[in-house]
Structure 1
Amino acid sequence: MSTIRERIQKTLLLLLCVLMLSGCWSRRELNELMIVLGIGLDWEDGEFLVSFQVVNPSEISTMPKGGERPPMTLYQSKGKTLFEAARSLTAEAPRKVYMGHLQIYVIGEELARMGISNFIDNSLRDNELRMDSNLIIAKGMKAQDLLKLFTPLERLPTQNMLHSLQTSEKSWAPTVSVNLDDLLNKLSTHGEELAVTGIQLVGTKKKASSKQNVETYMPSTRFRYTGIAVFKTDKLIGWLNEQESKGFTDISGKLKSTSIELPCGENSYIGIEVTSSNSKIKMEIKNGQPEAHIQIRTEANIVDRMCKNIDLEDPATIQELNEEIKVVIQNNAEASIKKAQKLKSDIFGFGSTLGRQHPQFWKPIMKEWNEEWFPGLKVQYHVESHIRKLGTTSNTTMY
């Protein structure tokens, strides 16, 4: 009898386990969701305008299809809060919005200048949002216009923007990727302000939202990453140009690779590829004043030689080119710091570095750092350049 009872108990326990594993109470079917890849945030007529770029699954599928519809749909809604705007979308959207695959946020410049604290608060309260979603600023325009763009190569504009941002950050200095996690860290740190890459439309914009935009060899409207937006607390206050942006990425240790052109004659240049760059910031206290020391070490290759009178096999020539590279790097850094000091926004983190290295000095001045101390901060530069490769042809004889 006891054996039968034990068998029954074991069977019931097994059935209970199977029932517990047979489903998920919170599951949502794919055909019940709208998958959002990009979100645009703007300020319009005293309200938040939220644009959701949603995937049309049948248009991006590898299975045969009609191809009459665009690969994405843009849903828009307004509200006094971001939550209200998002919820009011249900009045026209056939499915529930799903943020689990969100790739990129685009914030219009007008809203960015007003402040992005509402966006941050809303993002942190949503457990579906990914903290690795990237953030970019629509320079001089609305975010919604960028999400309407038909782009070549990638069928979805946000994928095109994301891949371009990642590639540009690795190969071209004036861009830097910032995700929600980076955003939260910067805004939670005393002595370091936020800096975000800008993006804008270029070319004739009449066909931007039409499929005709990608039916020619060169699209009439394209996007381009341009400049770095400088924030103070949560508000956009100014922009770095290309040279200043290069200086920022170099000082902050975000530069991976870029190009430098050294003049060697009339309309002729030596092309330099920067293959690696490392930087360190050290803060010192001299006569009661903080002083920054920036160490930048660069390795480079020669990739273009337009002037045949430049002898690349002469060690003295290489040394001279190294010195010229150092001048360019320092000029970029100086221009970047000068602009940031003018804007009174420490985007380099000199203040946070001072707090780590000299905490007793930092604590009393922490609240006045941007306004009173950073604008007059003395900076010393220690730049090294090392040319490693001359190319396989060295002194070519083709001209």
Structure 2
Amino acid sequence: MKRAFALFISLTAYVCLLAGCWSQRELTDLAFVIAIGLDKTEEGEYLASLQVVNPGNVAGAMPSGGGAGGVPVSIYTSTGDSVSEASRKATEKVSRLLYYAHTNLVVVSEELAREGLDEVFDVMERHHQFRTTAKLVIARGHSAKEVLSVLTPIDKISARQIIQMLKFSELAWGETSNIDIWRTVRDIAVSQRNPVMTGVAIEGDPRKGKRQENVQSSVPDARIKLDGLALFKNDRLVRWVDGPTARGMMWVLERIQHTNLTVPWEGKKEAIGYRTTRSKTKVKAKIKNGRPSISIHIIAEGELSESRIPINLADTSLLFRLEKELERSAKEDVTKAIKAAQREKTDVFGFGAAVHRAAPRLWKKIEKEWHDRYFPELDVTVTTDMHIRRTRMWDKPY
């Protein structure tokens, strides 16, 4: 009897310890929000555009991007005095409960970015479902809603295509930044660095890009493309930079993995192509007479990717001259980037952090005036070491 009673008590205790599904949600009750677009209306309200997956169309979709029964995503919009209000009002148009745990992309309009993003980041950090690992881009020349509405031909979901473009463009080209919300908030929260974000634009007609026919043609009527870097001062967009200037910023930020440089040779522009395979950037601060200065040293290795003129690449003295020309080109890009940031009085490079490490006491004195007074007048020295490790298959172009 005692044995049976002890067994009963044990089983009862185990039952009490078992976890229950008190917060369960059926999949058929959830609307998975993959991306969020944020704009401002003429009345000053937030316009939230939610890209929601159409599960049936994605599951049975063809490689072209369309599904058996229609497009893979739907866009739901709503307005509100705050981002939270706008997103909750969207439930009036959706037959399921909005679920943000899989939101991987946030697109912010240029207009909203110039006004400031403090309120946007606040609600995203507080939301219990939202992940701050979501990627962040700025819609350039178009609204965030238009960007999310374009159907893409390779990836079924356009948000995923943008995320993949950010990843591989930074890896292969070096003029864009693959940044998430957590890193952006961290840069805004500290006084030693300001954030940099990648721009997204639309090539073609945005109205035609919404239609399924856009992914049924070898030449889509509208394409999404990455377009330059947005420089921020605190939480406000202040300037766009493109091309070599954007690449110069990535050099300083040590975000260059692979990129291409072209240099003139014997009177011919862009005669020699060079592809980096690895690089490293060292940023150091020096203090002299109470004034900080910065030294930047860039070391890169790579290979010749193209020669448009007949030269003998087996000649080591010629390769040495080519390295010097590549160093001059990289230094020019970095100098342009630094001057662009100094004109806008925004330290996007983290030079303030270098000064803080070198002289903590001095930093406490100049911290509040760093961006507006000290950074624009900062003396920056740039040195580069570019090494040609390989010339690929040919030493002498045919």
Residue number in structure 2 paired with 1:5: 5
Residue number in structure 2 paired with 1:147: 148
Q: How far does residue 4 in structure 1 lie from its aligned partner after superposition?
A: 2.7
Structure 1 alignment gaps of length 5 or more: none
Number of aligned residue pairs: 393
Task: Please list, as runs of the form range in 1=range in 2, the aligned pairs for 1:200-279 lying within 5 A after superposition.
Answer: 200-264=201-265, 265-266=267-268, 269-279=271-281
- CA deviations on 1:27-56 (whole Å, 9 max, x unpaired) are 111111100111000001210000000000
Question: What is the letter of the counterpart of residue 32 of structure 1?
Answer: D
Q: How far does residue 213 in structure 1 lie from its aligned partner after superposition?
A: 1.6
Q: How far does residue 129 in structure 1 lie from its aligned partner after superposition?
A: 0.8
Residue number in structure 2 paired with 1:296: 298
Q: How far does residue 14 in structure 1 lie from its aligned partner after superposition?
A: 3.5
SS for the counterpart of 1:311 is: coil
Residue number in structure 2 paired with 1:49: 47
Structure 1 pair 49/63, CA: closer, same or farther in 2 (3 Å)?
A: closer
**Alpha carbons 2:116, 2:237 under 8 Å: kept:** yes
Q: How far apart, in 2, do the equivalents of 1:342 and 1:227 lie?
A: 18
Answer with 335-344 or 62-71: which moved more. Answer: 62-71
- CA deviations on 1:260-309 (whole Å, 9 max, x unpaired) are 1122354662111111111011000123311100010011101111111x
Q: How far apart, in 1, do the equivalents of 2:56 and 2:205 lie?
A: 30
Residue number in structure 2 paired with 1:332: 333
**Alpha carbons 2:290, 2:362 under 8 Å: kept:** no
- CA deviations on 1:187-206 (whole Å, 9 max, x unpaired) are 11112111101111112434
Computed over aligned residues only, the root mean square deviation of the Cα atoms, in angstroms, reads 1.6
**Alpha carbons 1:197, 1:229 under 8 Å: kept:** yes
Q: How far apart, in 1, do the equivalents of 2:140 and 2:365 lie?
A: 37
Question: What is the letter of the counterpart of residue 7 of structure 2?
Answer: R
Task: Please list, as runs of the form range in 1=range in 2, the aligned pairs for 1:81-96 lying within 5 A after superposition.
Answer: 81-96=82-97
Residue number in structure 2 paired with 1:168: 169
**Alpha carbons 2:312, 2:397 under 8 Å: kept:** no
Structure 2 alignment gaps of length 5 or more: none
- CA deviations on 1:62-106 (whole Å, 9 max, x unpaired) are 489972321000000000011110111111111111111111100
**Alpha carbons 1:259, 1:272 under 8 Å: kept:** yes
Moved over 3 A (4+): 14-17, 62-66, 265-268
**Alpha carbons 1:41, 1:48 under 8 Å: kept:** yes
**Alpha carbons 1:189, 1:352 under 8 Å: kept:** no
Question: What is the letter of the counterpart of residue 43 of structure 1?
Answer: K
Question: What is the letter of the counterpart of residue 4 of structure 1?
Answer: A
Residue number in structure 2 paired with 1:101: 102
Task: Please list, as runs of the form range in 1=range in 2, the aligned pairs for 1:129-148 lying within 5 A after superposition.
Answer: 129-148=130-149
Q: How far apart, in 2, do the equivalents of 1:267 and 1:363 lie?
A: 48
The two structures have a TM-score, normalised by structure 2, of 0.95
Residue number in structure 2 paired with 1:24: 21
From 260, 275, 288, the equivalent of 1:286 is 288
**Alpha carbons 2:314, 2:396 under 8 Å: kept:** yes
Q: How far apart, in 2, do the equivalents of 1:262 and 1:328 lie?
A: 7
Residue number in structure 2 paired with 1:72: 73
The two structures have a TM-score, normalised by structure 1, of 0.95
